[in-house]
Amino acid sequence: MKHLRPVNRKAARIDATASLLEEDVVALQQQPPKPHIPMGCTLSFSPGWEVDAGGGTAGLCQPVERDIYDCYVTCFWPVQVPDHVNYSPDWASNCAVATKDWRNLDLVFP
Partner 1 sequence: MTSMTALTSGRYRRGELHEFEAAGQPFMYLVSAGAIFALDEGANAVLRKLGQVDMSHAELAQALRDAGYDRADAEELIRELLFVQGIVSDAVRPAVAPSPATPPADFPLQALVLNVTNQCNLACTYCYEFGADKIATPQGKPKFMTPETAKASVDFLLEKSAGHQAVHITFFGGETLMNFKLLREVVLYARGRAEAQGRTIGFSLTTNATLLTDEIIAFLSEHEIGVTVSMDGPPDLQDKHRVYKSGKGSYAVIEPRLRKLIAQHRTRAITARVTLTDGVTDVIRIYRHLKDDLGFHEVGFAPVTNSGDRDYMIGDGAMDEVLAQFHELAAEWLEHALRGEMHGFSNVSETIGELIQGVNKSHPCGAGLGLLGVSPSGDLSPCHRFTDADTHTLGHIATGIDADKREDFLSRGHVSAKYECQTCWARPLCAGGCHHEAFVRYGDTGHANLHYCDWIREWTDACLRIYGAVSVQNPDFLERFAARKGLS
Active site residues: 67
Kindly state the DSSP code that residue 57 receives in the 8-state scheme. Answer: S
Residue 108 has, within 13 A of its CA and on its CB side, a CA count of 15
Q: Does 2 bind partner 1 (CB under 8 A)?
A: yes
Exposure string of 2-11, with b = 16+ CB inside 10 Å and e = fewer, is eeeeeeeeee
Of 13-21, 57-65, 68-76, 80-88, the segment contacting partner 1 by CB under 8 A is 13-21
Are 65 and 102 contacting, i.e. CB atoms less than 8 angstroms apart? yes
7 binds partner 1 (CB under 8 A): yes
DSSP 107: P
Q: Does 14 bind partner 1 (CB under 8 A)?
A: yes
- List 16, 28, 41, 108, residue binding partner 1 (CB under 8 A): 28
Distance from C-alpha of 84 to C-alpha of 76, rounded to nearest angstrom: 12
**Is 36 an interacting residue with respect to partner 1 (CB under 8 A)?**
no
Q: Per CB under 8 A, does 16 bind partner 1?
A: no
Residues near partner 1 (CB under 8 A) are 1-11, 13-14, 18, 21, 27-30, 32-33
